[in-house]
């Protein structure tokens, strides 16, 4: 069995000093890798651990190959190559939903947009006319800046296109929602992206000690866990044992 | 002697998952702290090491007190309190020049700005009318986003206001400039902010092994160094020995 784990978070450059990133540390991904190795299963052939440079890494082991990817594009390229060759993917990395298109300013926007119609403004906002010309470091002395962000490709939707038989474990992070809402959104994403299993969590509930999550499979079986450690255990057992979220997992529920 | 070192880089939240940050690792700041401690000078009473959580830290030592600061505001508050009590500050942290004011979108900007005059647009761009209402995690499903950034206070300009006799060592990072330009910009900043010493460097020239920098004092003496190690040595010697950049430092030049 060859397993891919994506872990940590991507970042997207604003210029060559500044970047937009997220709070993901890679701790959960590293714990899943460690747990898989610790099970000492002869069926486990290789783990490809894709993460950003600063992400937490698993313990060194011959079965683990580390791959560094910083931007969404880096992850996309690595997965396009690996997914067809692997049996399962645990896609725990927080992928930037947006990347930087250009940088503008109030001054420039005011100059260019004054007196324009809706249609003209729509066109101008995607043109070169409102961009501050700069590929290097943007000066610290502007009165303000406007950064336009555009969506990155949804990698999770590509995975089953690249390999329809790969086992896909996805993650969905929401903020400050009720458990029912979290389950709903995660189940919808699971269907849309053809995930086999999805881990749904809420950033406002995650602390150093606790990491509450709902783990949901295609048949809407739900397991509720409370720590990163249990998330890692449930996923490893699911992958290496029987690929189903059986009622015995209730052991892990709160 | 009580010395403050700021190290690493600040980050500014976009929402409660995403943030804008920079590439600073804190390695140089940690090396300066280690070098100061290694000189085993009885005049060194305390080092206050202010850095972000993920920054590189110096070796544990009774003389070093670590203080965590994530945003520009955190650093500002810590320094406002410490600068009046200290004798020197090595301000190596990459401080965000901008923080997030609000998030908007093409759709919202087009709706609100169509047919408006320059004056009206100026006012709208700083009003609530163009903001996506959201303090939590911004949805991944917008066609685009516009993030407005506004300047943060220039901390380096405040330091001599808080304590006019403190020794101030500043840093200036530019991108892809000639050495003359780098020296010019740094000298101007040194005058403007009343730095005693400034370290000027160019991000495009910094690699794992090399860190070229110009170290310039108030009398326009310049020392050219090539590695983080030498930057740390020159600064430590300057602080603990005689507070002047004497010709003997030519030892360090390339």
Closest Cβ opposite residue B97 in set A54, A140, A173: A140
Mean pLDDT value across residues B8-17: 90
Cβ <8 Å between A94 and B17: yes
Q: Is the dihedral of CA B139, B103, A9, A86 positive or negative?
A: positive
Q: From first to last of its 254 residues, what are the pLDDT tens digits of chain A? A: 999 999 999 999 988 788 999 878 899 999 999 999 998 889 999 999 999 998 999 999 999 999 999 999 999 999 999 999 999 999 999 999 999 999 999 999 999 999 999 999 999 999 888 888 765 677 777 889 999 999 999 999 999 999 999 999 999 988 889 988 999 999 999 999 899 999 999 988 998 889 999 999 888 888 888 899 999 999 998 888 766 675 544 444 43
Chain A residues within 8 A of B136 when measuring between CB atoms: 175-176, 204
Spell out the domain ranges in chain B: 2-97+152-252, 99-151
Work out the angle at residue B9's Cα, subtended by the Cα atoms of residues B3 and B10, and round it to the nearest 5 degrees: 105
Chain B residues within 8 A of A208 when measuring between CB atoms: none
Chain A residues within 8 A of B117 when measuring between CB atoms: 114-115
Whether the Cβ atoms of residue A108 and residue A132 lie closer than 8 Å to each other = yes
pLDDT-wise least confident of A117-126, A168-177, B1-10, B133-142: B133-142
| pLDDT tops 70 at residue B37 | yes
Neighbours of B123 (CB within 10 A): 13
Provide the pLDDT for residue B252.
42
**Better-predicted residue by pLDDT, B60 or A209:** B60
Cβ <8 Å between A175 and B121: no
Cβ <8 Å between A147 and B142: no
Question: Tokens for A48?
Answer: 């490809």
Work out the angle at residue A85's Cα, subtended by the Cα atoms of residues A80 and A90, and round it to the nearest 5 degrees: 70
Provide the pLDDT for residue B134.
65
- Percent of the residues in chain B that have a pLDDT greater than 70, as a whole number: 94
ipTM: 0.79
Cβ <8 Å between A145 and B98: yes
Question: Tokens for B6?
Answer: 């700021």
Work out the angle at residue A69's Cα, subtended by the Cα atoms of residues A78 and A95, and round it to the nearest 5 degrees: 90
Question: Tokens for A144?
Answer: 């303000």
Neighbours of A153 (CB within 10 A): 12
Phi, psi of B141, rounded to the nearest 5 degrees? -110, 25
Q: CATH: 3.40.50.10300, 3.40.50.1980, 3.30.70.120, 3.40.50.300. Which one for B2-97+152-252?
A: 3.40.50.10300
CA of A28 vs chain B CAs: smallest distance (Å): 16
Provide the pLDDT for residue B214.
93
Closest Cβ opposite residue B114 in set A19, A96, A116: A116
Chain A residues within 8 A of B23 when measuring between CB atoms: 17, 19
Q: Cα(A69)–Cα(A51) distance, rounded to whole angstroms?
A: 6
Provide the pLDDT for residue A155.
94
Provide the pLDDT for residue B249.
47
| pLDDT tops 90 at residue B132 | no
Q: Cα(A242)–Cα(A196) distance, rounded to whole angstroms?
A: 13
Q: CATH: 3.10.105.10, 3.20.20.70, 1.10.240.10, 3.40.50.10300. Which one for A2-96+154-252?
A: 3.40.50.10300
Helix (H) or strand (E) holding A230: helix A228-237
Q: Cα(A106)–Cα(B20) distance, rounded to whole angstroms?
A: 19
Q: Cα(A122)–Cα(B103) distance, rounded to whole angstroms?
A: 17
Cβ <8 Å between A147 and B146: yes
- Percent of the residues in chain B that have a pLDDT greater than 90, as a whole number: 67
Q: Spell out the SS3 assignment of chain B.
A: CEEEEEECECCEECCCCEEEEECCCCHHHHHHHHHHHHCCCCCCCEEEEEECCCCCCCCCCCCEEEEECCCHHHHHHHHHHHHHHCCEEEECCECCCEEEEEEECHHHHHHHHCCCCHHHHHHHCCCHHHCCCCCCCCCCCCCCEEEEEEECCCHHHHHHHHCCCCEEEEEEEECCCCHHHHHHHHHHHHHHHCCCEEEEEEHHHCCCCCCCEEEEECCCCEEEECCHHHHHHHHHHHHHHHCCCCHHHHHHCC
Cβ <8 Å between A18 and B22: yes
Provide the pLDDT for residue A243.
66
Provide the pLDDT for residue A254.
36
Cβ <8 Å between A147 and B151: no
Helices (H), A6-135: 27-38, 72-82, 106-113, 118-124
pTM: 0.81
Chain B residues within 8 A of A121 when measuring between CB atoms: 109-110, 113-114
Chain B residues within 8 A of A113 when measuring between CB atoms: 113, 116, 121
Q: Say if strands B46-51 and B64-68 run parallel, antiparallel, or are unpaired.
A: parallel
Cβ <8 Å between A21 and B19: yes
Chain B residues within 8 A of A17 when measuring between CB atoms: 22-23, 94, 173, 175, 203
CA proximity to A55, closest of A110, A92, A100, A108? A92
| pLDDT tops 50 at residue B253 | no
Whether the Cβ atoms of residue B213 and residue B198 lie closer than 8 Å to each other = no
Cβ <8 Å between B175 and A15: yes
Q: Cα(A80)–Cα(A90) distance, rounded to whole angstroms?
A: 15
Mean pLDDT value across residues B44-58: 95
Cβ <8 Å between A121 and B142: no
Q: Which DSSP string corresponds to A155-198?
A: HHHHHHHH-TTSEEEEEEEESS--HHHHHHHHHHHHHHHT-SEE
Cβ <8 Å between B148 and A148: no
DSSP conformation class of A115: T
Measured CA distances, A173 to A43, A203, A246 (Å): 31, 7, 24
Provide the pLDDT for residue B155.
95
CA of A208 vs chain B CAs: smallest distance (Å): 14
Provide the pLDDT for residue B18.
87
Chain B residues within 8 A of A144 when measuring between CB atoms: 98, 101, 148-151
Work out the angle at residue A25's Cα, subtended by the Cα atoms of residues A214 and B57, and round it to the nearest 5 degrees: 150
């Amino acid at each position: 069995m060859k397993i891919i784990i994506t872990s940590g978070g991507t970042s997207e450059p604003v210029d060559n000093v500044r970047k937009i990133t997220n709070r993901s540390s890679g701790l959960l991904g590293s714990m899943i890798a460690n747990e898989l190795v610790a099970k000492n299963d002869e069926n486990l052939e290789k783990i490809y651990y894709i993460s950003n440079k600063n992400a937490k890494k698993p313990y060194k082991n011959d079965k683990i190959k580390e791959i560094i990817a910083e931007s969404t594009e880096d992850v996309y390229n690595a997965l396009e190559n690996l997914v067809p060759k692997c049996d399962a993917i645990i896609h725990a990395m927080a992928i930037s939903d947006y990347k930087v298109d250009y940088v503008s300013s109030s001054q420039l926007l005011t100059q260019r947009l004054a007196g324009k119609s809706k249609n003209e403004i729509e066109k101008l906002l995607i043109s070169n006319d409102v961009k501050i010309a700069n590929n290097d470091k943007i000066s610290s002395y502007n009165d303000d800046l406007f950064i336009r962000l555009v969506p990155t490709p949804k990698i999770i939707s590509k995975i089953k296109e690249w390999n329809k038989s790969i086992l896909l474990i996805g993650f969905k992070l929401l903020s400050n929602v009720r458990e029912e809402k979290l389950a709903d959104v995660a189940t919808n994403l699971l269907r849309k992206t053809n995930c086999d299993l999805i881990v749904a969590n809420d950033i406002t509930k995650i602390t150093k000690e606790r990491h509450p999550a709902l783990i949901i499979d295609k048949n809407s079986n739900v397991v509720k866990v409370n720590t990163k450690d249990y998330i890692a255990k449930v996923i490893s057992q699911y992958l290496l044992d029987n690929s189903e979220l059986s009622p015995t997992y209730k052991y892990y529920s709160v």
